[in-house]
Amino acid sequence: MTPLHSRSSRRSFLKSAAPAIVGSIAALHGAPALLAESHSAAKDPAIGTETSAETKKLWSNEYWAQRGDVKLYLFRKRAGTRQPGQPALPVLFLVHGSSLSSRSSFDLNAGPHGNYSVMDKFAGFGFDVWTMDFTGYGKSSSGTGNSNIADGVEDLKAAVEVVTKETGQQRFHFFGESSGGLRAGAFAVAHPERVHRLVLAAFTYTGEGSPTLADRAKQLDYYRTHNRRPRDRDMIRSIFTRDKPGTSDPAIAEVLADKELVFGDTVPTGTYLDMTANLPVVDPLKVQAPVLMLRGEYDGIATNQDLLNFFAKLPNGDRQLAILPGMAHSVVLGLDHDEFIHVMRAFLEMPARIDTLKDS
């Protein structure tokens, strides 16, 4: 396990130094998505219990979007309901990865093992925070396909219409982890008018040199011939051990397995197929939004060089690349997740640029 004093010193360093490297401006054009219905939600006992004074002040609600025959589950948290005359809060939309659904990924309160809820954190910071189960995950219904990256873009198109209707906001911040980063990045390319700032964590560009993807490719024939793959307790544990044991609390894998396996022991194959056979799926030259790329020091999903190649091609000057020490694939659920929270918050709350290059 990483010594406590080492984790503390890393946090101290991050809090005293700016994350940085450079950035971007979002463009305006795109297509409408499908609208959806919403309804009030009680707290979901499968996702953990709110205990702190801060989280007790938060308001939450769940919604449903419709994309063809598929019903998509959305969940929202913010600091209280919007009052008349109150300005809209900035929206942060969290995009989950290949093996876990949305609230297990981003709204996990593990009781004595800690509150890992990104939704709680950023709602407490003043954001209107949303997430969604993609087709075939969690509470959303399954379609006839394999829920690949292109399907994820269509799911997001349906979801953002709901978010716009409920918040009045047209553009949102997006965070995606692992294949969620690929979904968020592909959506940013397709609909730049919807994306304000974009955070890509545990991202991969071409996959070249990735030990994780090389191992995953051994099952490529299976992914090509099946729409779903097994996802049992051992597979969930492997998310936290495959790169660097000790970078996460082993108890978190057990909590996650308890919560995820209520949705069944399989998940769609689409993102695994895309990541092993169809990369790249995001063209950096077409990403117009400001971008923060986050990578755990030990993450095997991509090499530093692969990410640097993507980063160098981003057209917007407002961009940053941060490598988080002591972290592996999941920066959200690692022991040092406070590093991730700190760097991402600083990026999302970047002061507005003073334009000194106006035409004379």
Alpha-carbon distances of 198 from 36, 98, 322, rounded to whole Å: 24, 19, 14
CA–CA gap between residue 286 and residue 283 (Å, rounded)? 6
What's the first-to-final CA gap in the chain, in angstroms? 58
Q: Are 64 and 231 in contact (CB under 8 A)?
A: no
Q: How confident is the model at residue 82 (pLDDT cuts 50, 70, 90)?
A: confident
Q: Which residues, 6+ apart, have CB-to-CB distance to 238 below 8 Å?
A: none
Q: What is the mean pLDDT of the chain?
A: 87
Across the range 274-299, mean pLDDT stands at 98
CA–CA gap between residue 307 and residue 149 (Å, rounded)? 19
Instruction: Give yes or no for residue 50 having a pLDDT over 90.
Output: no
Report pLDDT for 72: 98
Q: Is the dihedral of CA 299, 304, 306, 308 positive or negative?
A: positive
155-208 tens-digit pLDDT:
999 999 999 999 999 999 999 999 999 999 999 999 999 999 999 999 999 999
CA–CA gap between residue 272 and residue 279 (Å, rounded)? 11
Across the range 222-226, mean pLDDT stands at 98
Please choose, from the candidates 146, 271, 257, the residue with its C-alpha nearest in 3D space to the C-alpha of residue 216.
271
Q: How far is CA 157 from the centre of its chain?
A: 16
31-40 tens-digit pLDDT:
333 333 333 3
